[in-house]
Amino acid sequence: MTRKEVESLFKTHYAQMYHLALTLLFDEAESKDVVSEVFASLLSGKTMVRADSAQAFLLASVRHRCLNVVQHKQVKERFARLQTEDSDILANKDSVEEQMQMEELMRYLQGNLSPMSMEVFRLRYLQEMTCQEVAEALNVSRQTVHTHLKQTLEKIRTYFNSNSIAK
């Protein structure tokens, strides 16, 4: 499809597609993302739409993507529950000293990282999101995410090197 054809479909069907996604996901940002993904697939040329069935196709595409998002969330929630159970078991085995060191490291990071670097670190390592997911969540490029992670890891290395020398 040409860019002009996709723009025409966008102007004609965006509101209805967004409303459907919002009804299924209850999240404005995710709903916008889903609709954007449908149009991105049209722009990429991987998907073709006939003019007489465009509305049905676009709404079905939104519905399927929303169902995928919901299913992905359910899998992540199950994984998080299992991980929480596992971490509870492991936490009981960890020494108090290791827990204190981790808390001290987190305080150090909060005091020495920019808010953006702290958020990138939190999403990437504590929420276990991919770099692409972090970039999308923060509306920045993947390169920006990598830059913040590189700076953060350098500060962690510095922290551990200075604390290992002191001991």
Per-residue pLDDT at 83 exceeds 50: yes
Q: How far is CA 145 from CA 18, 46, 107, 112, 157, in A?
A: 28, 28, 21, 17, 18
Residues 154, 167: Cα–Cα separation, whole Å: 20
pLDDT of 44? 87
Q: Which of 9-18, 105-114, 127-136 has the highest mean pLDDT?
A: 9-18
pTM, whole model, 2 decimals?
Answer: 0.50
Greatest mean pLDDT among 29-38, 90-99, 100-109, 152-161 lies in 29-38
Query: Mean pLDDT over all residues of the chain?
Result: 83
pLDDT at position 19: 96
